[in-house]
């Protein structure tokens, strides 16, 4: 297994179990939808999702926190939600971290 990353982190969203369960339910309902290559935008209810967009959308749909650290337009992330933004958001915290 080769990767361009030298670290992995597992995050948890600071919210209730009720919101977490509903976020999982929302994400499960998206099974079978195609991958969204338009990473520069984000949508809660769409026909396709990219990885971090799906996680973000699941929490928004469940009434949870907005886990996009830069929810507006930025030069770096445009209007999308990148994994780094989820990591940097104040509503997420690390429960596991490993670097090589």
Q: Where are the domains of the chain?
A: 7-99
Which pLDDT tens digit goes with each residue over 22-61? 999 999 999 999 999 999 999 999 999 999 999 999 999 9
Q: Is the pLDDT of residue 3 over 70?
A: no
Q: Is 55 helix (H, G, I), strand (E, B) or coil?
A: helix
Task: Please tell me the least confidently modeled range out of 1-10, 34-43, 56-65, 81-90.
Answer: 1-10
Q: Please tell me the class of the 7-99 domain.
A: alpha beta
Pairwise CA distance, residues 83 & 55, whole Å: 9
Pairwise CA distance, residues 13 & 6, whole Å: 23
Please state the pTM of the whole predicted model.
Answer: 0.91
């Amino acid at each position: 297994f080769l990767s361009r990353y030298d670290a992995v982190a597992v995050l948890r969203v600071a919210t209730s179990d009720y919101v977490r369960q509903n976020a999982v339910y929302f994400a499960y309902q998206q099974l079978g939808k195609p991958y969204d290559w338009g990473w520069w935008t984000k949508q809660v209810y769409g026909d396709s999702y990219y990885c971090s967009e799906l996680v973000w959308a699941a929490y928004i749909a469940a009434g949870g926190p907005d886990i996009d650290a830069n929810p507006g337009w930025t030069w770096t992330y445009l209007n999308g939600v990148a994994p780094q933004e989820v990591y940097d958001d104040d509503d997420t915290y690390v429960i596991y971290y490993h670097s090589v």
